[in-house]
Structure 1
Amino acid sequence: MITAIINGRLLDCAGDVPLEDASVVIEDGVIKEIYSKRKPVPRGATIIDVGGRTVMPGLTDAHDHPAYTEMNPEKAENEPPLYIALKMAHNLERILQAGFTTIRDMGGAHWSLRQAVEEGLIRGPRLLIACAVLSPTGGHGDENLRGERLSHNDLGRLRTTARLCDGEAECRKATREQIRKGADHIKIVATGGIASPNDEPWHLQFCEAEIKAIVEEAESVGLYVGAHCEHDSGIRRAVKCGVRTIEHGLFLGEDTAKLMKEEGAYLVPTLATMWWGMTYGPEEGAADWVLRKYKEPLGPGKPDSLEAGVLAIQLARKVGVPIGSGADYWTSRSFGSEAMELKLKTESGMTPYEAIKSATIVNAEIMRMQDKIGS
């Protein structure tokens, strides 16, 4: 099947200037030709005249959690499994309808959710999954509050909870388990976080030996590691140990930003989740510790989480660190508004085209899919 999109204003997300009066020829779902002057379309092609409207690659999101449905921790884990599964499908449908055709799940999605999309059982974007997030005991991925689980609903075949691992040997085993499950990348937590009950964002998590072991196991099968980092000290440790993508990047320092550039690490800021949590967290039933850490991640008198994310983007942009795009949503009501991340980027100083590129060509590089998507 051949389709020709004609009379468009093309953002190819590779160059810096839109291509006017552009035509795109697609054959069996693959772009075969792009040209900027009118010429006969292939015989038998379906013609779509867009009348000068913008044509661009599908948007991508490099940090999202479509398997999560509620900010309220008790409600999130104690709803009936079938209801949760239907919510997951609805989350993916909303993301796709918003123009996002590929997303990188950074924890929560079971391999069966990816398979359901691939088989056409549900409608959604292409899914790249981390399977279980790797966390030390008491770390950002630990759902136990003072040793007691916040809920007792077994969702192991529906959603992947964090894999707690301590020590080099256990970290290697945990990484191998995610590889066995079919992970496309490995996600770790290198600092504390906002949505965890036992830590603060500046707490360091995993020692260098543990992180290096995880990176080594991932790279041995051609995968890479992304790290949740909400403080400069954790970012620096992660990058020194070979982590490829830094998630959130709050309180990034200039020396660490320069190290990221030297090592070829990517920053995936997640302004949208900070904005969402501070705007809608109270009415969504977010836990008190979550609301406190959104507003005061390092305590009173310090930047809030959104301000810290903006500062990280501005510094990374100044130094030349490649910046991807991820909304980091984790509540059903938020999915479908992933483009808010692009808007917030422009308010942070990025040009509109830079923001679009972060969600297309740069994300494609992060996902190692630049030969298929992003431009």
Structure 2
Amino acid sequence: MIKSLLLSLLSISITIAWGQPPTRSVIKSGKFFDSEKKQFLSNQFIVVEGNKIIYVGPSADNYRAKSQFIDLSNSTVIPGLVDSHTHLLFMQKSGTPFESDLIEHSDGDRLLRGSSIAKSFLEAGITTVKDLGNSGQYLDITLKKAIDKNWVWGPRMLVSGPIISPPNGQFGKLAYLHKSLPAKEYTIVRSVDEARSAVKEHQINGVDIIKICATNDNGLVLSPEQMRAIVEVAHQNGLKVTAHATYDEIIRDAVEAGVDGVEHGYGVSDSTLQLMAKKGTYLVPTDGTYDGYKGIVDLAKSNMSDQDIKQFVATSKDRLLRAVRAGVRIVYGSDLYLYTPRAIGLEAKNTLVSYAEAGLPVSDVLQIGTYNAALAVGKQAMFGVLKEGALADIVAFDGDLEKDFANVLYHKVYFVMKDGVIYKGASK
């Protein structure tokens, strides 16, 4: 049933020589961002063969024969953006009950909608996402496979499967008829043995990362022993672990348990940030700007006040800057599952703008959105970089991204290549 729904999308897909990139492409960049060194360079060439970058440098004369030439000399060229906190299969209106989406939409609905959201992310220049649950029982793996098979357009997906959580998941008080929803959306654990088994089940089902909900809105938490067991089994199987954790005590418990990353971290103390820096635990600040939140709240006709939005933005900014000062590695993640007035992939970049508005230099922000995100999952040689041997994920903006960051980031995406295939922009 699900597969037939996805296959039906083929009839409306725009063909772009699926899976058949040119044998070789020579790309001339204008302003070129080196994400490893965090610096902009001028007049660099990128040579792509198949789905890989085979050369980056100031001259490509040796490669011009029998190559497609792509002139991006008026553009800022960066690695494809990497959004490390998405929920492509879940959507909610601001201020509505968490369970509404699951009650109103079937698995098929969520997959079809998710394919549209995935396309929006790719067209915005986000070529890789880390999708962290709220995707039923492994619907994220189904969507990932559909993208990998070129049935639908979308970014490369690294997926967590159902979030491993204490009882009730992230739901509030549920009506009796809906008491079964947490088990359909999460992997619920009540003991150390169940925690170990949950990781093994996820590994068998083919996840790329383990996501835990260290605490939920009902005050229930995973114990330090449960979190340590999850980390131990995950690491034994080559999987990293990231934790939804929002207040200091549970963040510290998760860090001491050995998680690789912390999502949100709103109430984190300076001492816990110092511990994170010491242990190499990364932080994904899922922040936004006042304008971004205001648009979402107004669209939903939510009763959140302007003052509440301003206060949330201010405390988020303070947490981000304290983390940077402590030496914590910052990783971009939008956590955008709310209906937005703009295309959702476009709106997901609001988080990057929020980092810039907080005072981080554009070069830092771009490294956070590319190299740091790849480094967090141990894939820094594959994506998030423009260098020999990396996958050919290349995005170009029409204009100077360094000097006019928000405007160019939002409105000037000119060229998108993923795995050597052009999804947006003309070759010359």
TM-score (norm 1): 0.86
Is the 1:19–1:36 Cα contact (8 Å) retained in structure 2? no
The structure 2 residue matched to 1:206, chosen from 222, 231, 234, is: 222
The RMSD of aligned alpha carbons is: 2.6
Q: How many residues align?
A: 351
Q: Give the SS at the match of 1:145.
A: coil
Q: Deviations over 1:322-368 (max 9, x none)?
A: 10000001135462121111100011121111111101000000121
Q: Give the SS at the match of 1:191.
A: coil
Shift of 1:191: 2.8
1:177 corresponding residue in structure 2: 201
Q: Deviations over 1:297-319 (max 9, x none)?
A: xxxxxx94433321221011101
**2:95 pairs with 1:69:** no
The structure 1 residue matched to 2:329, chosen from 322, 329, 337, is: 322
1:45 corresponding residue in structure 2: 67
**2:38 pairs with 1:16:** yes
1:186 corresponding residue in structure 2: 210
Q: Deviations over 1:35-65 (max 9, x none)?
A: 1246353310000111331111000100010
2:189 corresponding residue in structure 1: 165
The structure 1 residue matched to 2:279, chosen from 263, 267, 283, is: 263
In structure 1, the gaps of 5 or more residues are: 297-302
CA distance in 1, matches of 2:244, 2:308: 18
Is the 1:65–1:328 Cα contact (8 Å) retained in structure 2? yes
The structure 2 residue matched to 1:246, chosen from 250, 262, 277, is: 262
**2:118 pairs with 1:92:** yes
Write the letter of the residue equivalent to 2:54: K
1:134 corresponding residue in structure 2: 164
Taking a change above 3 Å as real, the CA distance of residues 305 and 70 of structure 1, as seen in their structure-2 partners, is same
Q: Deviations over 1:126-161 (max 9, x none)?
A: 0000001011114xx24362573648789x9xxx61
Is the 1:93–1:123 Cα contact (8 Å) retained in structure 2? yes
Taking a change above 3 Å as real, the CA distance of residues 149 and 59 of structure 1, as seen in their structure-2 partners, is farther
Q: Give the SS at the match of 1:230.
A: strand
The structure 1 residue matched to 2:109, chosen from 58, 78, 83, is: 83
CA distance in 2, matches of 1:38, 1:125: 28
Taking a change above 3 Å as real, the CA distance of residues 209 and 152 of structure 1, as seen in their structure-2 partners, is closer
Q: Give the SS at the match of 2:116.
A: helix
2:146 corresponding residue in structure 1: 116
Q: Give the SS at the match of 2:251.
A: helix
Write the letter of the residue equivalent to 1:343: V
Is the 2:111–2:143 Cα contact (8 Å) retained in structure 1? no
Taking a change above 3 Å as real, the CA distance of residues 127 and 332 of structure 1, as seen in their structure-2 partners, is farther
CA distance in 2, matches of 1:153, 1:259: 36
CA distance in 1, matches of 2:254, 2:193: 18
CA distance in 2, matches of 1:11, 1:212: 39
Shift of 1:74: 5.2
2:296 corresponding residue in structure 1: 280
Q: Which moved more, 1:25-34 or 1:272-281?
A: 272-281
Q: Give the SS at the match of 2:79.
A: coil
CA distance in 2, matches of 1:142, 1:107: 11
Shift of 1:206: 1.1
Q: Give the SS at the match of 1:94.
A: helix
Write the letter of the residue equivalent to 1:189: C
Taking a change above 3 Å as real, the CA distance of residues 275 and 167 of structure 1, as seen in their structure-2 partners, is farther
Q: Which moved more, 1:38-47 or 1:141-150?
A: 141-150
Is the 1:74–1:151 Cα contact (8 Å) retained in structure 2? no
Write the letter of the residue equivalent to 1:70: Q
**2:171 pairs with 1:143:** yes
TM-score (norm 2): 0.76
Q: Deviations over 1:242-298 (max 9, x none)?
A: 011010010221111110011010001000399755652464377x8xx69x949xx
Q: Deviations over 1:190-238 (max 9, x none)?
A: 233xxx4xx2xxx461111111011111111010110011111111111
Shift of 1:78: 2.9
1:299 corresponding residue in structure 2: none
In structure 2, the gaps of 5 or more residues are: 1-22, 386-428
Give the fraction of aligned pairs with identical amino acids, expressed as a percent: 26
The structure 1 residue matched to 2:130, chosen from 104, 110, 117, is: 104
Is the 2:38–2:367 Cα contact (8 Å) retained in structure 1? no
Write the letter of the residue equivalent to 1:330: Y
**2:149 pairs with 1:125:** no
CA distance in 2, matches of 1:74, 1:234: 24
Is the 1:21–1:52 Cα contact (8 Å) retained in structure 2? no
Is the 2:92–2:101 Cα contact (8 Å) retained in structure 1? yes
Answer 1 or 2: higher relative contact order, Cα 8 Å, separation at least 6.
2
Q: Give the SS at the match of 2:253.
A: helix
Higher strand share: 2
